[in-house]
Amino acid sequence: MIKNTLIETLGIEITHLEPGKVIATMPVDERTRQPFGLLHGGASVALAETVASVGAYELVDKETEGAAGLEINANHVRPITQGTVTAVGTILHQGKTTMVWDIKITDEKDRLICVSRCTIAVIKLKK
């Protein structure tokens, strides 16, 4: 499922998966930095939405439902130029048609880099 996707392109790796919680890492390198050498805010948002989407997919009935990002916001609170960032996503709300996830992205010293909230739509699959 990850092959030939943005997840693979950015080097995102899911390191922990349980109902209601997902942890993933992403390198800060030439793939994820903006022209001034800082982690690109869009890369952080992609990491955050990946964590929320993977977590939501694990909670839906895969036979009849799918999950897709509906809305996301992010506050970039600290710059980073190298290393690895870790995203921890936890579910805040699980409804029949939407889920809301809280995602915190930290550096290797556990300093907050970005905080995000993502709303996921639960989609009924066509038969």
49 is catalytic: yes
CA 36 – CA 51 distance, rounded (Å): 26
Catalytic residue among 49, 58, 63, 71: 49
Q: What is the 3-state secondary structure (H, E, C) of 37-91?
A: CCECHHHHHHHHHHHHHHHHHHHCCCCCEEEEEEEEEEEECCCCCCEEEEEEEEE
**Residues 91, 68, 70, 29, CA torsion sign:** positive
Question: Active-site positions?
Answer: 49
